[in-house]
Structure 1
Amino acid sequence: MALLNNDKDVLPLSSISELLNAKIRTLKMYEDKKLFPLKNNKLKKLYSINDIKIIAFVHYLANIKKINANGISYILTMIENNMDEKNRNDFLDMIENKLENISQSDIQDLESF
């Protein structure tokens, strides 16, 4: 059995929207604002498992924490420039664990607020 390559680009945005219970249009908006990982300074059409962690973090910051695109861009830049790969991955894993504990009803309550 081969090991999984979490950096291989395999998932389209439509599949990610299903995984995150997010509207595809919302994710496209984040993509248009260049809040998602780029490949050779171009928007990607397929995303890796590691990219999904960033996308989930962006979605969390925008939907739950209500941070605007400029703020999210600043946070992502700070993470990219000030954390080595191991610390960045540990941080994103910690965020992923916290996101798993947010129930769907909590998200709907926040969206209706």
Structure 2
Amino acid sequence: MALLNNDKDILPLSSIAELLTAKVRTLKMYEDKGLLPKKTDGKKLYSINDVKIIAFVHYLASAKKINANGIKYITEMLENNMDEKNKADFLDIVETKMEKLSGIDVKDVDII
């Protein structure tokens, strides 16, 4: 059996919304504001690694109530100042903390 490639773009926003228990409309809003990983191939499919970033963006917007400019600043710092290993380790820590939150703690946001 081949190993999974976490960089392969396979998931549409609707599937990611279901995984995050978020609204597709909310994720499209993040996309419109430039908060999601850029897709240049014309398809709007995302990888498992992209899902981690999208989950982090959703967490910052919904749980921490950070606006779009703040989220852009944070994600740019993450992208520009961390190597891939440290970035992956950081996102794993964030994912662990997010798993401890209940659905009540993280509300879906319509305005960012």
TM-score, normalised to structure 2, is 0.90
Structure 1 runs of 4+ with >6 Å offset:
none
SS, match of residue 103 in structure 1: coil
Preserved contact between residue 37 and residue 43 of structure 1 (Cα < 8 Å)? no
1:49-72 C-alpha deviation (Å, 9 max, x unpaired): 000000000000000100000000
Counterpart in 2 of 1:39?
39
The higher-RCO structure (CA 8 Å, 6+ apart) is: 2
Preserved contact between residue 63 and residue 105 of structure 2 (Cα < 8 Å)? no
How far 1:107 moved relative to its partner?
A: 2.6
More helix by share: 1
Preserved contact between residue 34 and residue 43 of structure 1 (Cα < 8 Å)? no
Preserved contact between residue 8 and residue 47 of structure 1 (Cα < 8 Å)? yes
TM-score, normalised to structure 1, is 0.90
Q: Does 1:103 align with 2:102?
A: yes
1:34 counterpart letter in structure 2: G
Give the % identical residues.
Answer: 72
Q: How many residues align?
A: 109
SS, match of residue 39 in structure 1: coil
